[in-house]
Amino acid sequence: MDCSLEGQLAAVDQFRNVLRQQLGRDNADSRLALVRDLILKLPHRYFAAATREEIQAAGRRMIADGRSSQDMRVLQETLVGMLDFAVRAGALARNPLRSPNGAEGERPTVPRAALVVGVEPDYLAAIASLLAPLELEVVSTASTMPALDRVRWFPFAFVLSRFQSSSDQTAEFLAALRGWDSLCGECSVILLAPDSALEHARRHVGHGATRAISLERLERELPPAIAELGAVRDRSRVRLTVRATLADGRRTELWQSEDLSVSGMLVRTRSALAPGAELDLSLQLPNEPRPVVVRAEVARHTQVGSERAAGLGLRFLSFRDDGQRRLELFLSK
């Protein structure tokens, strides 16, 4: 049995080919589009981990959005067939639509995975080696077209794409990657470019891409980029008023948090503080008499177009008194 992500995506390809042979390309693709619409409405957007209750709830949302009874009958037939096919192929342990209540078994979690696009074999091997300690499963495609198919079926945490010689081609790929039918609209996208094209690649940061790094310096630049971007993904979306006292102690500003973890936060602000600048933050947690006071530094500026707000990414350096414990308790709720 191959229940890996690669095995599941291969089963999708095989089922699509069988369906096209049976029904014709247009009819088969129309049916699969209904399945993708349902997956978009799952809370985790990962069909292999879906329960019958989640599938039924997603179906009700489709009906509320105006899908006809005929559409839903076709969807049910196609989805049952697809899940049965994946079970027979060994890519899924069970079909949740055929499992009796209380017999779901151990529920799979959404694997953390990176999609690597258009990278030469030597670089691909190096990337896989660098990501292995970070427990990231790697899926690769030779070009952008199969990559765009993959992101319609799985919510990758990261997409690492070889920067193309044509800036227009890169822009088109990024626009499609962030499209409405992609499960990777909010994932981190890293462009990989040789030093000679790195400045051109960086022009796409904030316009669909999250970072651009050098192929020649993969070993030095890729692991910290993945670690930092992964920490941002793991933050909770929390809106708090943040009082920031700048390093000189003479100026105080009020900001709004967009997300928050015990190691850092993203704030909405127009302040253009340089990376490395230190400041003191006062976070007023709900129903707390005392604020959490923390020393922080500016880690980066946010990327317009690929993040929710224009502002700053902050890294926490040290907490005053019991601030860290109270913040951890707040986030655990």
**Cα–Cα separations (whole angstroms), residue 77 to 35, 91, 144:** 10, 19, 31
Integer Cα distance of 158 and 288 in angstroms: 36
* pLDDT tens, position by position, 60-76: 999 999 999 999 999 99
Integer Cα distance of 176 and 165 in angstroms: 18
User: Is residue 173 over pLDDT 60?
Assistant: yes
The per-type count for the chain, helices as H runs and strands as E runs, is 10, 11
The residue among 89, 109, 87, 108 whose CA lies nearest residue 98 is 87
Cα–chain center distance at 330: 24
Integer Cα distance of 157 and 131 in angstroms: 12
Which stretches does DSSP call E strand in the chain? 113-117, 137-141, 158-162, 188-193, 211-214, 241-246, 252-260, 264-268, 278-283, 292-301, 311-319
Integer Cα distance of 280 and 319 in angstroms: 10
pLDDT averaged over the chain?
86
The residue among 214, 192, 206, 229 whose CA lies nearest residue 116 is 192
Give the pLDDT confidence score for residue 307 in this predicted structure: 55
Three-state DSSP string of 42-77:
CCCCCHHHCCHHHHHHHHHHHHHCCCCHHHHHHHHH
User: Is residue 44 over pLDDT 70?
Assistant: yes
User: Is residue 48 over pLDDT 70?
Assistant: yes
Q: Please, are residues 158 and 151 in contact by the beta-carbon 8 Å criterion?
A: no
Q: Residues 6 or more apart from 281 whose CB is under 8 A from it?
A: 242, 243, 244, 245, 293, 294, 295, 296, 314
Give the pLDDT confidence score for residue 11 in this predicted structure: 95
| Cβ burial, residue 217 (10 Å; 0-12/13-18/19+) | exposed
Q: How confident is the model at residue 2 (pLDDT cuts 50, 70, 90)?
A: low
Q: Please, are residues 312 and 253 in contact by the beta-carbon 8 Å criterion?
A: no
Q: Please, are residues 79 and 38 in contact by the beta-carbon 8 Å criterion?
A: yes
User: Is residue 82 over pLDDT 90?
Assistant: yes
- Report the SS3 class of residue 297: strand
pTM: 0.71
Give the pLDDT confidence score for residue 107 in this predicted structure: 56
Report CA Rg, the chain. 22
Q: Structure tokens of 221?
A: 């630049």
Q: Structure tokens of 190?
A: 């890293």
- Report the SS3 class of residue 82: helix
